[in-house]
Amino acid sequence: MKFKYRSVFSREPGSDDFLIFRRPEIMVSIAGPLGKATSVGLVDTGSDFTIFPKRIAEYLGVPLTESKLTSAAAFGGQELPLQEGEVVLKVTDSEDQVEWVTEVCFFDFPTSESEAIILGDSSFLDYFIATFDGEASELELQPTSEMLELCLPRQESD
Amino acid sequence: MSTSEKKPVPIPPPAPIEYAGQWVAWNKEWTEIVAHGREFADVHREAIHKGFSDPIMEHVRNPKLAFIGFL
């Protein structure tokens, strides 16, 4: 499965000009008891966990439990209290898709302005062989054999 | 180009700077932002209400701040 990087504006260092950067951000669908939503998430090899905003869990009706870890250390040492919930994740490219049930983490971001979706090792990257092609701005995700066993059967409506 | 060769997938444009800090809902073709606002749920509901059954949600970061990871 291949995904083009997402284009984003970012300020050029030392300048008032903006540049277009490309980041390995891909579309991911998340489903809970009350519904589903598709959103852009950052594929982040530096994150041990897959993290969604807690407000999305509330919107989709995902029951939350306190994370066994209770907190995670982010870049800079900041501690983040995490909760966990079971969801269905799905990634789709132009030809293929994989869908699986997994536990992800939820974080109560202090403001909606700071919210982010991070697709890290646990629940996401652990199930793929990921190739980041910076020159082509393209991410390739090849499902592992474990993922192929976990993968839900494809629905006719998909 | 042979007729069986795939057409290149167009790269969607970046979200406009004016939406920094907000959630935006794109249509499936990535050609139009159909709803935007501070709350994920409100934006998603509004897009569905407008007839976009599975909008693509994106959180637009503040482009004035360099992104160096999840803090």
pLDDT tens digits, A7-17 = 888 877 777 78
Provide the sign of the torsion angle of the four alpha carbons A89, A93, A97, A98, taken in this order: negative
Measured CA to CA, the distance from residue A105 to residue A47 in angstroms comes to 12
Are B57 and A39 within 8 A, CB to CB? yes
Does the beta carbon of B54 lie under 8 angstroms from any beta carbon of chain A?
A: yes
More confident call, A93 vs B37: B37
Non-local CB neighbours of A20 within 8 Å, separated by 6+ positions: A7, A8, A9, A10, B14
* pLDDT, tens digit, 9 for 90 and up, residues B49-58: 999 999 999 9
Per-residue pLDDT at A79 exceeds 80: no
CA distance B9 to chain A (A): 9
CA distance A9 to chain B (A): 6
Are A78 and B71 within 8 A, CB to CB? yes
pLDDT band at B68 (very low <50, low <70, confident <90, very high): low
Q: What is the pTM of this model?
A: 0.88
Are A112 and B15 within 8 A, CB to CB? no
**Geometric angle at alpha carbon A75, from A28 and A16, rounded to 5°:** 80
Does the beta carbon of A118 lie under 8 angstroms from any beta carbon of chain B?
A: yes
Averaged confidence pLDDT in chain A: 89
> SS3 string of chain B?
CCCCCCCCCCCCCCCCHHHCCCEEEECCCCCCEEEEECCHHHHHHHHHHCCCCCCEEEECCCCCCCCCCCC
Structure tokens at A99: 């869908």
Contact between A86 and A62 (Cβ < 8 Å): yes
Are B17 and A18 within 8 A, CB to CB? yes
